Chain A
């Protein structure tokens, strides 16, 4: 929870971007699309846990 979390997401983003470019250059458009979606889903899964954590904390702090 912290800087490494952000660098993890950025790393995944860069890897997905590079893979996407490689695959689209080599003619496999649909696989490029697949890797993009896969990277997005992985990042979203990591982030959803943190968002849920944040909203639980806000509820407990502000007694919502």
Chain B
């Protein structure tokens, strides 16, 4: 899906969502949810190529600690959290959106621990070797 198609689809569904909002607000929310799903599904092939491209770098760098996997987990978590919280904000539920974001931050922090450990170890090794 080219960028023109994506923008056209988004505009069409925004107009549809507005027209239906005055009669059935919940269905207009579901329309915006459906557009989010469709646009992201159309981006999946591009994301896969980006990830394989980055992985080829990591393999060539032959460092022992695989940094790509936790990084991908963090990116995936942040995307899902953002997806959910924006939908809740559209529905007017600001408090629920903030709770989702809080949960996302905590989960991402947990995912980041291995990376932080690896960073400290490398720093300590460098200091020792001085």
Residues of A within 8 A of B41 (CB): 1, 53-54, 57
Q: DSSP class of A's interface residues: helix, strand, loop or mixed? A: helix
Chain B count of residues within 8 A CB distance of the other chain: 32
- Surface stretch bound by A, among B56-64, B70-78, B89-97, B120-128: B70-78
Complex CA distance for A1 and B48, rounded to whole angstroms: 20
Chain A count of residues within 8 A CB distance of the other chain: 33
B54, CB-defined interface residue at 8 Å: no
Binding site for B on A (CB under 8 A): 1-3, 5-7, 9-10, 12-14, 16-17, 20-21, 36, 39-40, 43-44, 47, 50-51, 53-55, 57-59, 61-64
Known: A10-B27, A57-B44. 11 other contacts (CB 8 A): A9-B31, A20-B24, A51-B33, A54-B37, A55-B80, A58-B76, A59-B76, A61-B51, A61-B76, A62-B77, A64-B76
Binding site for A on B (CB under 8 A): 9, 12-13, 16, 19-20, 23-24, 26-28, 30-31, 33-35, 37-38, 40-41, 44, 47-48, 51, 69, 72-73, 75-77, 79-80
